[in-house]
Amino acid sequence: MLFEVWAPDARRVGLQWAGGRSGEPVVPMERDTARAGWWRAEAPARDGDRYAFRLDGGPPLPDPRAARLPDGPGGPGAVVDHSRFTWRHPWPGRPLPGAVLYELHIGTFTSEGTFDAAAARLAHLAALGITHVSLMPVCPFPGTHGWGYDGVAPWAVHEPYGGPDGLKRFVDAAHGHGLGVVLDVVHNHLGPSGNCLPAFGPYFTDTHRTPWGAAVNLDAPGSDEVRGYLVGSALGWLRHYRLDGLRLDAVHALHDGRARHFLAELSAAVDELAGQLGRPLFLIGESDRNDPRTTAPRARGGHGLHAQWNDDVHHALHTALTGESHGYYADFARAPLAAVAKTLTGGFFHDGTYSSFRGRTHGDRLDLRTTPAHRLLAYTQTHDQIGNRARGDRLAAGLSPGLLACAAALVLGSPFTPMLFMGEEWGARTPWQYFTDHPDPELAEAVRAGRRREFAAQERAARGTPGAGAAGDDAPVDPSDGWPDPQDPATRDRSVLDWNEPAAEPHTALLAWHRTLLALRHTTPALTDPDPSATRVTYDERARWLLLRRGPVRVAVNLAPRATAAVPVGATGLCPLAAWPAPCLPDGDGVLRLPPESAVVLGP
């Protein structure tokens, strides 16, 4: 077997066996004469053999490209023979147009927190009408439980979840249910604990800074190999694990001053692989820039990503539903239904407009005539928007079932690719909080203190008192303040879905409502029509009703808590295709009398 590693500054490199072969001698590696900075060695090995690399006689370090780290970050890698896995279900792929995504965290989707336990629940998603499961990161991170965004090995799979074979079993099971699988990957930073990459080469650079420290090296000396490292990781997920797409975390934090942006290089490689494999593959970026270039074709100067998250839809709907107006919600809250209307018809709310949160103009106009609407993802809840709240409270913690039904009708009736966060379909009331499992006491305490400062700032902003309470921000976490301790195992346990909820009201009714809406979306062409002229929105800010028109289909919602809304649907011969809590018809003048906190979908 050929072992290779990039270590440009090393004077000598050795292959160190571990585990059952730890008594065997170190295998000297030779410089690769064809590739500067690379070392290689041929050695007999089989699936499961553990190994590490030693640089200049130093301690054993994990292979940066190890597909498995049985002992977690910092430990030796293990050989993975991908050809040994037997796939049961042929998979032609499932493209993004017409998709409905479901964001899922393996560690809290079930109490067991494993791939196999999650796979046992996939029939629920297929029956719901989901097309793609979007997994949060599964690369190795410290401890057992965490969000996964502090992973340290972009080629490997978290062992407590089930390792590489566990992920393959999950993907194979999903394909058996007709579900595609998308994986969240993090290219903008790596976690601080167990990160050995700096010992091998210039994977990071001080040329740029990020909220997580030194930036990944995409444009400084040595960046050719770093870019290749990340592109190779991405292609490996798609090829070896038969994934359908990748969600790229915080691409706005990828600092790249080169003529060809890393994202364009990555999207070109993924498109090429799709052609080789003969099945559709796609990339979904998370970006807060509202930049049309993110999804614009490479031939037109764009980065060529196939879609992006659209937080503006979330912010507009969130302010309309909750009335929150602090932080980045401020601009949306001035006229929330107008903000909803703008995002549903134009994609971005901030499209060159002034952002009071940023203190400057933000974004650029997105032309939906040239950018298909499915390239934007719409949602009312995500791991970020729930988990980064001080108490991890979902919308269901503060909204009535009627308002939750209205939110679902607008997202699932929108022209964009909808996404649900796990449990949203039944109005789950379990929180989803920020939790970590750092074994390093100093790092654990730093995380506690950092979250305390964030929570304090959130509460001051919500109260409208920006300076209050700042003196105690650096104090140790006090359990009496009600903020969850990220390191307390109970924080993770509270965040696990309660699968008994769907059997009780109002969860049962909300689940049925989501199933009805998803069935309509899959069977009603108007709801996935890419023509932007087919989408129109009218609303009454004061009366709190909104009407979304998708061709001949009308989605009407009344967000008012007590008043019946008179909604001019503007057509005759319409009948209810779906209704919460009960069907209602327009009168002879085409006016729909919609009860408080209710929704209806009308069609010919």
DSSP conformation letters of 85-150:
----S------STT--EEEE-HHHHSSS-SHHHHHTTHHHHHHHT--EEEEPP-S--SSS-S-STT
CA 23 – CA 485 distance, rounded (Å): 43
CA 51 – CA 67 distance, rounded (Å): 12
Residue 388 annotated as lining a ligand binding site? yes
Both tokens of 42, joined, read 């041929």
Where do the DSSP E strands lie in 406-496? 417-421
Assess contact for 88 and 46: CB atoms under 8 A.
no
346: enclosing H helix or E strand: helix 336-346
459 is catalytic: no
Number of neighbouring beta carbons within 10 Å of residue 1:
12
Residue 250 annotated as lining a ligand binding site? yes
CA 306 – CA 281 distance, rounded (Å): 9
477: enclosing H helix or E strand: none
CA 55 – CA 34 distance, rounded (Å): 20
249 is catalytic: yes
Assess contact for 73 and 61: CB atoms under 8 A.
no
Options 249, 256, 331, 459, the catalytic residue: 249
Q: Which residue's structure tokens are 């050719």?
A: 224
Strands, sheet with 535-540, edge to edge from the N-terminal-most edge strand: 535-540, 545-550, 553-558, 598-603, 575-580
CA distances from 354 to 252, 283, 330, 351, 456 (A): 19, 29, 12, 9, 27
Residue 383 annotated as lining a ligand binding site? yes
Residue 481 annotated as lining a ligand binding site? no
Residue 553 annotated as lining a ligand binding site? no
Options 286, 291, 459, 597, the catalytic residue: 286
Residue 189 annotated as lining a ligand binding site? no
Residue 587 annotated as lining a ligand binding site? no
CA 572 – CA 455 distance, rounded (Å): 51
Residue 248 annotated as lining a ligand binding site? yes
CA 168 – CA 183 distance, rounded (Å): 12
Residue 522 annotated as lining a ligand binding site? no
Residue 106 annotated as lining a ligand binding site? no
Residue 464 annotated as lining a ligand binding site? no
3-state secondary structure of 464: coil
Residue 496 annotated as lining a ligand binding site? no
* Residues paired with residue 309 on neighbouring β-strands, in sequence order: 377
Residue 313 annotated as lining a ligand binding site? yes
Contacts of 82 (CB under 8 A, 6+ apart): 67, 164, 240
Q: Residue count of the chain, please give it.
A: 604
- Per-residue 3-state assignment (H helix, E strand, C coil) for 273-337: HHHHHCCCCEEEECCCCCCHHHCCCHHHCCCCCCEEECHHHHHHHHHHHHCCCCHHHHHHHCCHH
Residue 384 annotated as lining a ligand binding site? yes
Taking CA 153 as the corner, what is the angle to CA 152 and CA 155, rounded to the nearest 5 degrees? 155
Residue 352 annotated as lining a ligand binding site? no
CA 64 – CA 52 distance, rounded (Å): 10
Residue 311 annotated as lining a ligand binding site? yes
Residue 385 annotated as lining a ligand binding site? yes
Catalytic annotation, residues: 249, 286
Q: Which residues are annotated as a binding site for substrate?
A: 247-252, 311-315, 383-388
Annotated binding site: 247-252, 311-315, 383-388
